[in-house]
Amino acid sequence: MILLDTHAWIWMVSSPEMLSHKARQAVTAAIDASEVHLSAISAWEVAVLHKRGRLDLTMGVRDWIARSEELPFLHVVPVNTQIAIDSVELPGPLHDDPADRIIIATARFLNATLVTKDEKILKYPKVKTLW
């Protein structure tokens, strides 16, 4: 089971060649097993990036996200109270980006491997990562 970081989700959908070879293999295996997960906070991140002009999409942001949600192998994980609290109480040193903290807490909640290129997250020893 994998959880996609926001950029990994964007790349999986629109530019899979941007994923590392190892990440592409993991995503392909997870697609086959219907075990690709995404934190709902990633939809917020995509909407923010699009609104700020930092992310070009081939359609409106609502439609782009809706099309992703229609993928039969992709499971959007809501931010429940446990994930919200865990994101604040993550052990050890970690930066304060709330979206990253929620994504990490979601991966830990699911016991999933987090697919990310983010160096800060890759160095955080309290979550399983892959790139």
User: Residue 52 is part of which domain span?
Assistant: 2-130
Domain count, the chain: 1
Residues 6+ apart with CB under 8 A from 44: 99
Residues 6+ apart with CB under 8 A from 5: 42, 103, 114, 115, 116, 117, 118, 121
Q: In tens digits, what is the pLDDT along the chain, a chain of 131 residues?
A: 999 999 999 999 999 999 999 999 999 999 999 999 999 999 999 999 999 999 999 999 999 999 999 999 999 999 999 999 999 999 999 989 999 999 999 999 999 999 999 999 999 999 999 99
What is the per-residue pLDDT for 95?
86
CATH number at residue 124: 3.40.50.1010
What global pTM score does this model have?
0.95
**What stretches of the chain show up as alpha helix (H) in DSSP?**
6-14, 21-32, 41-51, 61-69, 81-88, 98-110, 119-122
Tokens 């097993």, residue located? 33
